[in-house]
A and B are shown apart, each in its own frame.
Chain A
C-alpha cells in the first residue's frame, strides 16, 4: 500500500515539474507586473528598474523559475511580485483562499453526493415511476445548464426572498458576500441562522450541478447492475428485494460514482470558482484570475502547488476507495 502510494507520487513528480515550468514561463513572459507603474505621473524609469531589480524581475525568465524552484523546495513559497500587493506572502494568501473555497466546496459536494446517490438509487429501483421521470428530467436539465447562470439566478431570487422575509418582519437571512468577518458568533441559534444564511445560496448553486451528474451516473450504473447476472442469481436464490438492492447492487453501483467523485475535481473546482465569482467571495478563483491578470508567477505557482497536491491526493483516495468497494481490486 505504502509502496503503491510512493510510486504514484514519484510518477506525478516529473509531470508536476514540467507543468510548473510551462506555467511559470508562460505567465512570466506574458507581461511585466510593474508596467502600470509607468502610468503614475512623475515616476522615473530608474525607479521602475530599481524595483524590478529588488523583486528579481530583471533576470531572465528561466533564471527566475530556477530561483523560485530552489526556494520552493526549501519551503519558501516566495512573495507576490504584483504591483500594489506589497509583496504579499504566497503561502498564507493561498491557504486563506483555499479556506474560503474549501468550506464552500466540501459541503456542497457532500450534499450533492448524498442527494445524488439516493435519488439515483430510488429512480433506478422505481424505474419508469413518476419519481424516476421527475428525477431524470431534472438531472438532464441541470446537466445542460450553464452553472454560472444558475448561480446568478439563485442569487437574484435569494435577495428577493430576503425582501419577502423582511416584509414579514423576520430578519434578513441569506447573505451573499462571503462569511461574516467576525466569524460565526452569538448564541447557537444565531450561529445556525448565520451559517445557513451564508452558505445556503452558493452551496445550492454548486450542489445542483454536481447533483445532476451524480444522480444520472448512479441511476445508470445501478440499472446496469440490477440487470447483471449476479444480481439475477441473488434474486433467484430468493434473497429479499431490499437485501438485493442494498447488499449487492448498491455497493457495486457506488464504484463508478466514486471514480467520478475523485476525477471530478477539475469540474468541481471550476464550478466553485464560478460560484465564488458570482457571490463575490475572494477564494481560489479570484486568486487564480488575479495572479494571471497581474503577471504574478509566484502567486500562480502557489495556487498550482496547492491544487496539484489536492489532485494527487484525490487520486490516491479514489484508488483506495475502489479497493474498499470492490474486493477484486488489489493495490500493490
Chain B
C-alpha cells in the first residue's frame, strides 16, 4: 500500500527535475511536453475531452523503437474465431483504423482522423449513421470507405448462412452486428438499422475493419456491396478467403489504413510496422516499430533492463517481472500497472445441494478474505489494487457501485454466526453440518498458478469458519465441465469492458452461458431492459439494478481485476490499454532524454 504513494511522488519529483533542467537551458529540441505521471498517460495527447474525440497530433520523428509483449501476433484478420486473440489487436491497432478508439481509461473516443460523425438518427427503430471522412485510403492506394464497414458487417453479423444453417464466416463474435441491417447510403455513409434498440453501437467498427477491395477481388466481384447474405456463390468464395486467407503474412493483401502498416513478420518472433504513407492524419512519431514476442515475463523484463527493448507490456501480471522492473527506477525505467479488463470470480453452483442453501453461500462470501487475496497475489504488481465490487461494472466505469464489500468481509466469525443462525452445528472435526450434510465443496479451476494460489488462500480463510474446501485443479476445466455445470464452485475469469450487453447471457435465467443456474427474476427483468436501451447512459441504471439483485442472491463473488503491466525507458507517454495494448497511442510517442 505504501508503494502506491511513493510511485507518483517519485515520478512527480523526476518530472519536476526535468522541467527545472529545461528551464536552465539544458538540452535542445525539447518543446515536446514530457510527463512521467503515468495515470495522466491514459488520456492520449490528441484527445479532445470535451467531445470525446481524437485527432492524431503533430509529433516529431523519434526513430525506431523496439517493443515487446508476451506472445506473438498471428493473423491480420483478428475477427475469426480461431485467430482472435489480444496479441493480434496489440499490433493491428495501429494498422487497421476504425470508427472509435479506446483510451487508457476505457473511454470510447470518436476517431476524428477518419470519421465525420456517428449519430443515432432515429430512435424507433434505432437507426445509426456512420459518416466517414471522404478521400481516405489504404496504404495500397485503394479507398477506405463504406465498403469496409459493409464487409465487416457481412462477415460478423452471422446473417450469411449456409443451407445447413451454419455460418459462412467463422467469426469470433457477433457483437451486435446480428441485430442490425446494413446499407451504404453513399460511398462514405453507412446506415445501420437495429431490430431492437442496441446501446453498445459504438463498439461496432472499432477494430477488424478489413480491406473490402481485397475481399471483393478474392470473391471475384467488382463491388463488395453486391454480395448480400443471400448471394451464396460469392459468399462461399469470400468466406473461404476471409476465414483463413489473411493468416500468415503477405504484404500485398495486408495493407494499412491506420498510421502504420505491416512491413515484416517472423512467425512466433516479431512483427514490424512502418509509417503508412497514405495515412490522412498526422504521421506517427516512431519511424518503425518492432513488436517482439518474448514468452517469458522475466526474460522480457531483463530485455528492457538490458536496453534491447524500450517498451515492454504484459497482458498478464507477473510478480517476478514486476519486482525486477520496479527495482530499475533508478536507471530511468518507469514501471506501471493498472487493472485489466478481465476479472476473476467464484461462481457458486445452485445445483449443488450444499450451496443451494442461502446460508452456506452467504457464509462462504463472508469467510473469503478478498483483501488478503489481493494483497498477496496482486499488490506486488499493482500496489493500489482493491477487491472488485461488481459483476457488471469496473471501478473506472460510469455507474460503478461496490455491492460486495459488505457481503464478503473476510470474517470467519461472521461466517460462523451465519451458519449457526441457520441451524448448522460444528462437528468434531470443526466442520459445520446440518442434517448429516457437511459444509464441504470443491473449487474447480484450470492449472493457472495464480488460481491455485487463490484456492490455497481461501482454504485457509474458510477453514477458520468451519467450511471445508477442496482444491480441484483440472487443466481441461473450461471444456465440457464448466458448460455442463459440473462443479461446486468455479474459479475463472470473464472479460468485461464498456459494452455490457453480452453480460445478459451469463446472468439471466435462460442465458446461454449461465452454467451455474442462477435465477433472479429482478435481475432478468433489469438485464432485458438494459440491453434494449438506445444508449449506454440509459442502460446504466438497469445494469445497476441487476448487479444489486445478483449480489443479494450470493450467486457469484467477484475477486479482482487481473492487472496488466508495462514498463518503458526513454519513451514518453506509454500506457497499456486493456483491449488494445500499449501501441494504441504509439503514433504519439516521443523520445525522452
What is A's interface to B at a CB cutoff of 8 Å? 30-32, 34-47, 50-51, 53-55, 81, 83-89, 92-93, 96-97, 100, 155, 158-159, 162, 172, 174-178, 181-182, 277-280, 282, 286-287, 290
Query: Is the C-beta of B10 less than 8 angstroms from some C-beta in chain A?
Result: no
CB within 8 Å of A: which B352-388 residues = none
Check if A92 sits within 8 Å of B267, measured CB to CB: yes
Q: Which residue of A has the minimal Cβ distance to B72?
A: A282
Check if B493 sits within 8 Å of A41, measured CB to CB: no
Write 18 A-B pairs (CB below 8 A) sorted by A numbering: A35-B478, A40-B173, A41-B494, A44-B505, A54-B170, A85-B82, A87-B247, A162-B307, A172-B306, A175-B308, A177-B302, A177-B306, A181-B290, A277-B295, A278-B296, A279-B299, A282-B293, A287-B268
Q: Which residue of A has the minimal Cβ distance to B272?
A: A181
Q: Which residues of A contact B476 (CB under 8 A)?
A: 30-32, 35
- Hey, what's the 0/1 contact readout for B532-544 against A, CB within 8 Å counting as 1? 0000000000000
- A135 to B424 CA separation, bound complex (whole angstroms): 71
A177's partner among B68, B81, B167, B502 (CB-CB below 8 A) is: B68
Check if B306 sits within 8 Å of A35, measured CB to CB: no
A280's partner among B85, B244, B296 (CB-CB below 8 A) is: B296
Check if A88 sits within 8 Å of B248, measured CB to CB: yes
Q: Which residue of B has the minimal Cβ distance to A50?
A: B166
Q: Which residue of A has the minimal Cβ distance to B71?
A: A84
Check if B268 sits within 8 Å of A93, measured CB to CB: yes
- A223 to B35 CA separation, bound complex (whole angstroms): 68
Which of these binds chain A: B54-62, B191-199, B452-460, B479-487?
B479-487
- A287 to B71 CA separation, bound complex (whole angstroms): 12
- A34 to B172 CA separation, bound complex (whole angstroms): 12
What is B's interface to A at a CB cutoff of 8 Å? 66, 68, 72, 74-75, 77, 80-85, 87-88, 166-167, 170, 172-175, 243-244, 247-248, 264, 266-270, 272, 290, 292-296, 298-300, 302-303, 305-309, 475-480, 482-483, 492-496, 501-503, 505-506, 512-513
Q: Which residues of B contact A177 (CB under 8 A)?
A: 68, 292, 294, 299-300, 302-303, 306, 308-309
Check if A96 sits within 8 Å of B268, measured CB to CB: yes
Check if B299 sits within 8 Å of A176, measured CB to CB: yes
B158 to chain A: closest CB distance in Å? 9
Q: Which residue of A has the minimal Cβ distance to B475?
A: A31
Q: Which residue of A has the minimal Cβ distance to B64?
A: A182
A151 to chain B: closest CB distance in Å? 11
- A309 to B300 CA separation, bound complex (whole angstroms): 33
Counting chain B CB atoms within 10 Å of each CB, the highest count among A45, A46, A84, A278 belongs to A84
B303's partner among A47, A176, A287 (CB-CB below 8 A) is: A176
- A280 to B308 CA separation, bound complex (whole angstroms): 12
Q: A51-B170, A159-B305, A282-B72 are in contact. Are A41 and B267 (CB under 8 A)?
A: no
Check if B502 sits within 8 Å of A159, measured CB to CB: no
B248's partner among A45, A89, A182, A278 (CB-CB below 8 A) is: A89
Q: Which residues of B contact A50 (CB under 8 A)?
A: 81, 166-167, 170
Counting chain A CB atoms within 10 Å of each CB, the highest count among B264, B269, B272, B477 belongs to B269
B268's partner among A53, A83, A97 (CB-CB below 8 A) is: A97
- A172 to B264 CA separation, bound complex (whole angstroms): 26
Q: Which residue of A has the minimal Cβ distance to B447?
A: A293
A53 to chain B: closest CB distance in Å? 8
B266's partner among A88, A155, A181 (CB-CB below 8 A) is: A181
Q: Which residues of A contact B264 (CB under 8 A)?
A: 181
Q: Which residues of A contact B172 (CB under 8 A)?
A: 40, 43
Check if B83 sits within 8 Å of A86, measured CB to CB: yes
Q: Which residue of A has the minimal Cβ distance to B291?
A: A181
Q: Which residue of A has the minimal Cβ distance to B515?
A: A38
- A254 to B237 CA separation, bound complex (whole angstroms): 62
- A280 to B85 CA separation, bound complex (whole angstroms): 21
B80's partner among A36, A86, A159, A286 (CB-CB below 8 A) is: A86
Q: Which residues of A contact B68 (CB under 8 A)?
A: 177
Q: Which residues of B contact A41 (CB under 8 A)?
A: 494-496, 502-503, 505-506, 513
Check if B173 sits within 8 Å of A32, measured CB to CB: no
Q: Which residues of A contact B480 (CB under 8 A)?
A: 32
Q: Which residues of A contact B173 (CB under 8 A)?
A: 40, 42-43, 47
